[in-house]
Structure 1
Amino acid sequence: MRTQGLGAWLPRRRLRSPEKTAVVFGENQRLTYRQLADRAEAVSAVLVEEGVGTGDTVAYLGENSPDFLVTLFGAVRMGAVFVPVNTRLAGPEIAHVLTDSRARVLIHDAVFDDRLDAIESGLASPPRRIRTGASGRNGEAGFDRRMDAAGPAPALVIAEPDAPAAVVYTSGTTGRPKGAVLTHENLTAVAVNTIIDYDVVSDDVALMISPLFHVASLGMGALPVVLKGGTLVLEKGFEAGRALDLVEQHRVTMISGVPTTFQLMADHPSWASTDISSLHTLTCGGSAVPDRILRAWEERGLSFSQGYGMTETSPGATSLAPHMTRAKQGSVGLPHFFTEVRVVDDEGRPVPAGTVGEIHVTGPNVFAGYLGLNEATRAAKTDDGWFRSGDLGYLDADGYLYICGRSKDMIISGGENIYPAEVEALIADIPGVTGVAVIGIPDDRWGEVPLAVLTVSQGTTVDTAAVRAHLDGQVARYKLPKDVVVVEALPRTASGKIVKAELRERFGASPI
């Protein structure tokens, strides 16, 4: 479908709802759609001054702010490609993203000056750096002043559906992060899917507490709201008490997060006294929502929309409607409206309902490929164009998808397959458990046995005997963890997913 690309969104919003509040940021900053569109055009003019042209890449390294959005829309409206950089990356990792994407310009927050200074001399073609705010590094004008002084904006570039709009780097849990090329069609499709399946309307107010550099926050949070003309409340980070304050203050209708987000809000002292009556949409990804968190929010009249996806699907693949949360508990739902999902065996043949296999996804939201990695792109897709997720799951008789885990995370103990997600979901319901990962560790007799790695709330004691007793009778005995380890924190990606490779490296080298 030819739509002129993402660059046309803000000019069209400016025509339809010029004085509608588009963005709320901090205590005092509000931008209307007219102002947001004007600033994006000013960014385009600044990028032209820096020599950026169609097909060039523009990187952004910074926390959630209006600058992120105007850089995105300013870049794509002139045919450039936007590269959001994970703020949690170390210097060498940032260097890889900038080099691999061939970024011509990097717009960044001042807090990253030292990290960038340390890597700049090692870059073959360092990008031109523009610091956000009024002042640059050496007395030159910062991003704000550059936008204020910008000349006329270049003409809107009409983007073809398959033209790259963004390159989003994968979490890099194995090897170096790969740049997933997301086209204008990909990001439009995921926004439309979200609008349809989550009933996004122009009156919605979305609290953005997850980082926009993460594709879920961008593709299924910010972009659908902008497309519908709603309001984004941008937060640089997440603090449960402040999130509750913002819900009440701005009459927030939508929040997206991971299970820990919603648990911390429900556990906060202000939970019971905060007016959250405006909320109607809670979307949660990363892992299944434990039953105790479901109950806490249900007591306030709310249910979750849960889902499944990955960077390569922009990211939405499936969603579970709130009214099905209990009827299909444990499921990640049905395929999004313009997306298809299948489960196949090792030969690529669809398997019957209830049979575990690899999950494949197809649709207009599936990425174009990995930047500069033709072999990896070919390996990631089937001959008929389906994306091989590497995840294991099954479809029930009604077409609802259930996740069993990554294929590489599956534990084989005495010839029996153990899918960690099943065990993790049950352990997560133990009072005081705040995070859980089940991995396989070597065992002389069984080959591998499960190990549960937990985080727990302050003052809570959870040991191996308690976990095994909780699971006994709910799963086969070979699935019971041999040992339980409690740690201060689980290693996570920016999207909240647990990095099991780090846990295997730490605990899996030899039996506990």
Structure 2
Amino acid sequence: MTANANLFAALRAAFPADLDATAVETDDELRYSWRDLDRASAMLANLLDSLDLPAGSRIAVQVDKSVEAMLLYLAVLRAGHVFLPLNTAYQSAEIEYFVRNAEPAVVVCSPKNFGWVSKIAFQAGTRNVFTLGDDRTGSLLDRAAVQSDVHQAVQRQADDLAAILYTSGTTGRSKGAMLTHGNLLSNAQVLKDYWGWTEGDVLVHALPIFHVHGLFVAIHGALLNGSRILWHARFDPKRVIADLPRATVFMGVPTLYVRMLAEAALTKEQCASMRLFIAGSAPLLPETFNAWRERTGHTILERYGMSETIMLTSNPYRTKDGERRPGTVGFPLPGVGLRVCNDQDREVAQGEIGGIQVKGPNVFKGYWRMPEKTAEEFTKDGWFKTGDVGKIDDRGYVHIVGRSKDLIISGGYNVYPAEIEGYINEMPGVAESALVGVPHPDFGEVGVAVVVPKAGAQVQADAVVAALKSRLANFKIPKKCFVVPELPRNTMGKVQKNLLREQHRDLFR
């Protein structure tokens, strides 16, 4: 028999020899040993086996963050099924779409949502609906409690599906990105080496686990290294900072870093044991990058990835590989091909802006039940079109300029929002900004700037536009500017530009 390519088998093989050592320690003082992780995931896998599900069934999960939710993920891999994590913010219309589209054999939801979720699931033909609370309650654990705590991981090939992640669906219906055991394991192994994971590392985990960042990058990183996890059910800057002296690695979205910088307890002394701070899922402002280095003595490592590919690029961890540069996402990871192309899929010259295309063992298998969409997103020579717009500078660092769908074409000229936002963010009193395109009768589309001032600062919309006029070509200047208390964000901290576009779409009509 060939070696088992089941991702769980690789994670389990990396458990330390001492299975009674602490694997996970929660913010409410619960401790789980490596033996607990092995036994509990076996019991959950045996429960799934007992349901006589078709091979490779989808298991849809919308629950609050808990160690048990992570164990369910491991159990789904172990039993050879396909994990389908769903954002806890999704409401009934969204859940109905996902359930009808993915046709899961099992749905697991929070106890408080069982009434409406089970109704949707049963009507769509799902036969098994369980509950799982963040306090170790629910029918899932009750049913698993009587199962054996021994389980042999199901044989899987590297190309077999391990997970489906639905994209945020800011343009049209969400698409289910199909990730294989090979996609996930290859990326985890590359990151283990590239980010210098070492014996004794301890991870502070304060991210959601329905997303690539928290579920795959963070959890796979710690488990593949046999590292202890300090588990935070939700992000509280004070509690995370209090845990830093016991940890070495932290992963967060930029918003988390901004919130920690607002705490007086964040000092160089508090971060003395830390080895690495990693940021991703949304752009990190150079101001945050510099403020963090000044306060803590640590330089944040920014990286870039997406649901369809897991991680693609990273600023260097080791000094010999280069410096960590603000405003960039570093170099393509080992084994990842990355090129910047024009609309004809031809590479542009160095420093020129174009669409980012990638290739490698981490790139997904395609979109669930969308063969035409999958074909559209790959070039004839097999490169995946990420939808991100960027450039590669003369030192090989990748810069993300924006999403292709955020590109503004005004009077026939291309306007890249990230460029204009960069200038606005440097202005006195500005905390952050977003530029979106809205319909215009003369130009087809024009930019509208939405600006958030720093606490206590006064920012005038007219002054922002006037300052830009002295620095940029006229076609790049926003036709309107609004000053607001905050920008709309999703749960991963990304600015929801689709909401801003919708809000201002009738400005010039």
Once the two structures are superposed, residues 165-192 of structure 1 have per-residue CA deviations (whole angstroms, 9 ceiling, x without a partner) of 1111111111221111100000001211
Give the equivalent residue in structure 2 for 1:88. Answer: 89
Separation in structure 1 between the aligned mates of residue 324 and residue 204 of structure 2, nearest angstrom: 28
Give the equivalent residue in structure 1 for 2:17. Answer: 16
Task: Answer yes or no: is 1:423 the counterpart of 2:423.
Answer: no
Task: Answer yes or no: is 1:180 the counterpart of 2:181.
Answer: no
Separation in structure 2 between the aligned mates of residue 57 and residue 327 of structure 1, nearest angstrom: 40
Separation in structure 1 between the aligned mates of residue 190 and residue 463 of structure 2, nearest angstrom: 42
- Kept in 1, the 8 Å contact 2:5–2:182? The answer is no
**Pick from 296, 305, 311: which aligns with 1:309?**
305
Q: Larger deviation: 482-491 or 295-304?
A: 482-491
Q: CA deviation at 1:471?
A: 4.3
**Pick from 496, 501, 504: which aligns with 2:498?**
501
Separation in structure 2 between the aligned mates of residue 359 and residue 264 of structure 1, nearest angstrom: 31
Q: CA deviation at 1:474?
A: 4.8
Q: Larger deviation: 191-200 or 435-444?
A: 435-444
Cα distance change, pair 222–61 in 1 and its aligned pair in 2 (3 A): same
Separation in structure 1 between the aligned mates of residue 51 and residue 443 of structure 2, nearest angstrom: 61
Cα distance change, pair 496–306 in 1 and its aligned pair in 2 (3 A): same
Alignment of 1:480-491 (within 5 A): 480-491=477-488
Q: CA deviation at 1:105?
A: 1.7
Once the two structures are superposed, residues 269-293 of structure 1 have per-residue CA deviations (whole angstroms, 9 ceiling, x without a partner) of 3334971212221211233322321
Separation in structure 2 between the aligned mates of residue 469 and residue 278 of structure 1, nearest angstrom: 46
Alignment of 1:93-132 (within 5 A): 93-117=94-118, 119-120=120-121, 122-125=123-126, 127-132=128-133
**Pick from 364, 385, 390: which aligns with 2:387?**
390
Q: CA deviation at 1:239?
A: 2.2
Q: CA deviation at 1:10?
A: 4.5
Cα distance change, pair 507–359 in 1 and its aligned pair in 2 (3 A): same
**Pick from 354, 357, 363: which aligns with 1:357?**
354
- Kept in 2, the 8 Å contact 1:202–1:225? The answer is no
Give the equivalent residue in structure 1 for 2:195. Answer: 198
Cα distance change, pair 143–434 in 1 and its aligned pair in 2 (3 A): farther
**Pick from 259, 263, 277: which aligns with 2:272?**
277
Give the equivalent residue in structure 1 for 2:465. Answer: 468
Cα distance change, pair 91–433 in 1 and its aligned pair in 2 (3 A): farther
User: What is the letter of the counterpart of residue 307 of structure 2?
Assistant: T
User: What is the letter of the counterpart of residue 401 of structure 2?
Assistant: C
- Kept in 2, the 8 Å contact 1:191–1:224? The answer is yes
User: What is the letter of the counterpart of residue 477 of structure 2?
Assistant: L
Give the equivalent residue in structure 2 for 1:39. Answer: 40
Give the equivalent residue in structure 1 for 2:241. Answer: 244
User: What is the letter of the counterpart of residue 79 of structure 1?
Assistant: G
User: What is the letter of the counterpart of residue 214 of structure 1?
Assistant: H
User: What is the letter of the counterpart of residue 254 of structure 1?
Assistant: V
- Kept in 2, the 8 Å contact 1:105–1:130? The answer is no
Separation in structure 1 between the aligned mates of residue 97 and residue 150 of structure 2, nearest angstrom: 31
Separation in structure 2 between the aligned mates of residue 46 and residue 247 of structure 1, nearest angstrom: 37
Q: Larger deviation: 194-203 or 212-221?
A: 194-203
Residue segments in structure 2 that go unaligned for 5+ positions in a row:
none
User: What is the letter of the counterpart of residue 456 of structure 2?
Assistant: G
Q: CA deviation at 1:476?
A: 3.7
Task: Answer yes or no: is 1:377 the counterpart of 2:374.
Answer: yes
Separation in structure 2 between the aligned mates of residue 237 and residue 504 of structure 1, nearest angstrom: 30
Q: CA deviation at 1:326?
A: 6.8
Helix, strand or coil at the partner of 1:462: coil
Separation in structure 2 between the aligned mates of residue 428 and residue 113 of structure 1, nearest angstrom: 44
Give the equivalent residue in structure 2 for 1:260. Answer: 255
Separation in structure 1 between the aligned mates of residue 184 and residue 291 of structure 2, nearest angstrom: 33
**Pick from 282, 289, 293: which aligns with 2:284?**
289
Separation in structure 2 between the aligned mates of residue 264 and residue 130 of structure 1, nearest angstrom: 33
- Kept in 2, the 8 Å contact 1:339–1:361? The answer is yes
Q: CA deviation at 1:48?
A: 1.7
Cα distance change, pair 114–265 in 1 and its aligned pair in 2 (3 A): farther
Give the equivalent residue in structure 2 for 1:68. Answer: 69
Residue segments in structure 1 that go unaligned for 5+ positions in a row:
137-141
TM-score between the two structures when normalised by the length of structure 1: 0.91
Cα distance change, pair 99–235 in 1 and its aligned pair in 2 (3 A): farther
- Kept in 1, the 8 Å contact 2:42–2:148? The answer is no
Separation in structure 2 between the aligned mates of residue 442 and residue 99 of structure 1, nearest angstrom: 34
- Kept in 1, the 8 Å contact 2:407–2:415? The answer is yes
Q: CA deviation at 1:340?
A: 1.0
Q: CA deviation at 1:41?
A: 0.6
User: What is the letter of the counterpart of residue 48 of structure 1?
Assistant: D
Q: CA deviation at 1:12?
A: 1.6
TM-score between the two structures when normalised by the length of structure 2: 0.91
- Kept in 2, the 8 Å contact 1:468–1:481? The answer is yes
RMSD of aligned Cα (Å): 2.5
Once the two structures are superposed, residues 375-403 of structure 1 have per-residue CA deviations (whole angstroms, 9 ceiling, x without a partner) of 11111112222111121111123322111
Give the equivalent residue in structure 1 for 2:49. Answer: 48
Aligned length: 504
Alignment of 1:142-181 (within 5 A): 142-151=139-148, 153-181=150-178
- Kept in 1, the 8 Å contact 2:43–2:151? The answer is no
Separation in structure 1 between the aligned mates of residue 374 and residue 267 of structure 2, nearest angstrom: 49
**Pick from 351, 364, 368: which aligns with 2:365?**
368
Once the two structures are superposed, residues 19-72 of structure 1 have per-residue CA deviations (whole angstroms, 9 ceiling, x without a partner) of 332212232211122211111111111112223353112222222221122111
Separation in structure 2 between the aligned mates of residue 12 and residue 158 of structure 1, nearest angstrom: 15
- Kept in 1, the 8 Å contact 2:106–2:126? The answer is no
Cα distance change, pair 69–372 in 1 and its aligned pair in 2 (3 A): same
Separation in structure 1 between the aligned mates of residue 61 and residue 476 of structure 2, nearest angstrom: 44
- Kept in 2, the 8 Å contact 1:304–1:325? The answer is no
* % identical aligned pairs: 32
Helix, strand or coil at the partner of 2:229: strand
User: What is the letter of the counterpart of residue 147 of structure 2?
Assistant: A
